[in-house]
Structure 1
Amino acid sequence: MTTEATSRLTAPLRNVEYRVLWAAEAVSSAGDQLAKVALSILVYHRTGSALWAAVVYALTFLPALAGGLGLSFLADRYPRRAVLSASAAAQAVLVGLMSLPGMPLAALCLLLVAVQLAASPANAAQNAITREVFTDDHLYLRSQDLRGITTNTVQLLGLAGGGLLVTAVGTSWALAIDAVSFAVASVIVRVWVHDRPAAGGEHSTWFSATRWVFGQRKLRVLIALSWLVGLAVVPEGLAAPLAQQLNAPSAAVGWLLAADPLGFVAGAYLLSKFASAAVRQRLLGVLATTSLALLALFLLQPNLVVALVLLALAGAMGAYIITVTATFSTWVPNELRGGAGGLYRTGLRVAQGIGVALGGVVAQATGSAVTAIALAGLAGVALAIPTAFSWTRVRHAVAAGA
């Protein structure tokens, strides 16, 4: 039973450790948004090539995939505060080097790869520490709600003003700001987060968590629910052609990109305020299916306003992923939580990358972004329904103690 105090969205912020972890993530996320815009502008101005700009942007994702599988176990093998602080410090140095004027493009790419590799153990350590901070499941779920809302709000602010800020201060200064954000995160984590012993120690190896996770049916079903997000993000990769097909002004590209995170923030807030953890777990299959069914409604050839409403509602339903992530972390033993979290995060990002790529292929083949989004929704519903039934069986088995 939750008290009124623990049911409030901001209740986790009363914990000093979480407050520091939350602030560190928010600051570094804001810096990252600024850096992504700055890198795209910097590379395009130097090369005049949209392809090179896209390649460098892709480098902000690809190394994180390898690092998620290969380096996340470090958050189990070594003390997590040390891993998080050291990773943030390394990122501060690397991004600081990137900010130096005249840095050769090849060196810039190598530094970017190193930054993303360093992010993997940091993310794994942050997620695992947060679960250690809160022994109360309800407070932990609230903490993840707050993280999700913060991350998507930062994304919205980045969409709204990132380009303007980079234009105002210049690309080198924007990267320098990102470096400072990592340095701040490293220091405050070192000072205010408790130093706990390594959860797994020398028994933690590269793929020990991966082998354990895939041996657990309940965790495989949660991973399957998370992978459905790969189809839900298809509209994000098709925002520009979608705006053109809807005969909308160029500014509508930003509106279409902002609709999903805006809906996500609203959905996360409403779930946090009105639904208990048990209710949210029961609703996982329904919310996942509904988020994709809303995209399938693009078959009706909506106008811009209806399209924005559908995307915002799909984003609100998509807030189910917070409960999936929190449940996954809770069901993994502490000594494996870093490596398992890296596996989960990697799978989620791979699913999103594949989904966006396939959406682009279908849009190119059919000549219609609207059709591609609708087909992604239909395919998602076809996958979500059996996954939802599997989740119901798993949830009942866990409740029965099986």
Structure 2
Amino acid sequence: MGESPARYRDVFAVREYRHLFGANVLSLIGDQLTAIALAFTVFERSHSSTLAAITFAVTYATWIIGGPALSVLADRFPRRTVMLTCDLARAGLVLSLAVPGIPIPALLGVALLTNMFRPPFQAARASLMPDLLDGDRYPVANGLDNIVGETTQVLGFAVGGILVAAASARGVLLVDSATFVASALLIATGLRGTVASAPPAEAPSTSRLADMAAGARVVFSDRRLRSYLLLFWFSCLVYGAEGVAAPLSKQYGGGAFTGGLILAAMPLGVAVGGVFLTRGCPPALRQRLTVPLAVVSCAALVPVAAHPPLPVLLALLIASGLAGAFSIPLNAIFGRAVPAAYRARAFGVAMSGVCAVQGLAMIGAGAAAERLAPTTVVGGAGLLATLSVVAVAARWPRQPTDQHAPARPLRVAAQSSAA
């Protein structure tokens, strides 16, 4: 395809991706419906906003708790089988949540267990993508998935709330279970029986802990992969702004509507930026822009410390999101650079770190906003993120002649066997 970016029609020309795309959309919708239905159920029965918030937090907690450990499964078993198993297990567990009168502790426990199947599903899917899509189709598909993910998150919550109001939380859970069944059908009928890439013979697995350690080692022992990951992680410090959306809205004399605008600004920017990068930028330019855009995505929030007018604040948040779309081509570079045998574990490490950084950034921003003006906190988060990203950029590795070459699998194998 040369220097021209791939088109969406080129991506959807791959039959297996069409099925994988549909299955992912259904699973994402299912995840959102589960969260909204359970939060309503818990709040209605317990009248506790804390328990309702914990229900929402379960989705993020599962990546931090089980991401690296459960992602191992997608490297040890056929990835198609892993995805099928995860969807069918979630369908059954969500169905059990619809049983009338289930105690709240049991409900929260089953909800946690249900979400534990998300990391291996997503890791298996991410590991399949580089094998299914060649050339520029892979980063363009990543951009499309990102846009759909942002849109699905917003629509999922909105539609879930409407469904709960129109029917009941139990009815939404039944619909949710059906989405996972439909996703499993798409995977069963559209994907080949793709086998997992077995680990190198020099590195026999001795335990689940050794498997997890190998995933972290393959990332952090290679300068390229380490730089890719740290750039993305440090840039996520700007998500501290979401943690102070409510007090920030109050500072501007607004309420829930203003808070919603603040929360929607960055995702909107990422979605628009993703379209521009994947459809309007040639692949070589897209790659050269990765580091500069990462810096801009953080630096754009520094002026917020000056307490600009609300329209300017929203414009800065959108600008941060637009530049933050650098993560889309970076994800494709990372996926192709990881040795195939460790790809799922590497994605598990990456996603767990993202969730941890975002969560800690939000908590830290919230704590800082107890003493400082929210605009000062957001600007400070932007400055901290900028300095961290610049530090990584200063040691940014040169791209190899083959930009898609995997990162030193033999060295990793030798280290794994010694673990």
Question: TM-score w.r.t. structure 2 length?
Answer: 0.90
Tell me whether 1:287 sits opposite 2:268 in the alignment.
no
Matches within 5 A, 1:170-209: 170-200=168-198, 203=204, 205-209=211-215
Counterpart in the other structure of 2:358: 352
Write the mapping of 1:318-329 to structure 2, written as runs, cut at 5 A: 318-329=324-335
SS of the residue corresponding to residue 364 of structure 1 reads: coil
Question: Over aligned residues, Cα RMSD in angstroms?
Answer: 2.1
SS at match of 1:207: helix
Q: Deviation at 1:223?
A: 0.8
**Structure 2 portions without partners, runs of 5+:** 206-210, 408-419
1:14 is displaced (CA, Å) by 1.2
Relative to 1, partners in 2 of residues 1:386 and 1:396: Cα closer, same or farther, differing over 3 Å?
farther
State how 1:132-171 maps to structure 2 within 5 Å: 132-134=131-133, 136-171=134-169
Asked if structure 1 preserves the Cα contact closer than 8 Å seen for 2:274 and 2:325, the reply is yes
Match of 1:277 in 2: 283
What's the CA shift string for 1:6-64, capped at 9, x where partnerless? 62134211111101111111111122222212222221221111111122222222122
> Cα–Cα, structure 1 residues 160 and 229, in superposed 2: closer, same or farther, change >3 Å?
farther
Query: Once the two structures are superposed, what CA deviation does each residue of 1:185-239 show, in whole Å capped at 9, x if it has no partner?
Result: 1121011101122212694533322222211011110110110243121122222
Change (3 A) 1:244 1:287: same
Question: What code does the residue aligned with 2:244 have?
Answer: L
Q: Distance in 1 between matches of 2:283 and 2:63?
A: 30
Alpha-carbon distance between aligned partners in 2 of 1:249 and 1:353, rounded to the nearest angstrom: 23
Q: Which residue of 2 aligns with 1:372?
A: 377
Shift of 1:66: 2.3
Counterpart-to-counterpart distance in 2, 1:285 and 1:362: 28
Q: Distance in 1 between matches of 2:3 and 2:233?
A: 33
- Tell me the amino acid that sits aligned with residue 275 of structure 1: C
**2:63 and 2:351 in contact (8 A); partners too:** no
How far apart in 1 are the matches of 2:275 and 2:369? 33
Does the 8 Å CA contact 1:225/1:324 hold for their aligned counterparts? Answer: no
Q: Distance in 2 between matches of 1:125 and 1:265?
A: 24
1:129 equivalent in alignment to 2:133: no
In structure 1, the residue matched to 2:7 is 8
Shift of 1:296: 1.0
Specify every segment of 5 or more residues in structure 1 that has no aligned partner in the other structure, as ranges: none
Residues 3, 282 of structure 2: 8 Å contact kept:
no
1:382 to 387, 390, 395: 387
**Aligned position for 2:252:** 246
Q: 1:398 offset after TM fit, Å? A: 7.2
Q: Aligned with 2:256: secondary structure?
A: coil
Alpha-carbon distance in 1 for matches of 2:178, 2:2: 39
SS of 2:371's equivalent in the other structure is helix
Q: Please tell me whether the aligned partners of residues 305 and 377 of structure 2 are also in contact (alpha carbons under 8 angstroms).
A: no
| SS state at 1:61 partner | helix
Poorly superposed stretches of 4+, deviation over 6 Å? 396-399
1:11 and 1:142 in contact (8 A); partners too: no
Moved more, 81-90 or 198-207: 198-207
Equivalent position of 1:236 in the other structure: 242
How far 1:348 sits from its partner (Å)? 1.2
Alignment match, 2:98? 99
Percent of pairs with identical residues: 32
Q: Which moved further from structure 2: 382-391 or 159-168?
A: 159-168
**Alignment coverage as a number of residue pairs:** 398
Structure 1 residue 288 displacement after superposition: 1.0
Residue of structure 2 in register with 1:119 after alignment: 118
Match of 2:412?
Answer: none
Contact 1:284 1:388 survives alignment (8 Å): no
Give the aligned partner of residue 41 of structure 1: 40
Deviates more, 1:109-118 or 1:32-41: 32-41
More helix by share: 1
Query: Does structure 2 retain, via aligned residues, the 8 Å contact 1:285–1:387?
Result: no
1:394 aligns with 2:398: yes
**Do 2:235 and 2:389's aligned partners in 1 also have CA atoms closer than 8 Å?**
no
Q: How does 1:306-317 map to 2 (within 5 A)?
A: 306-317=312-323
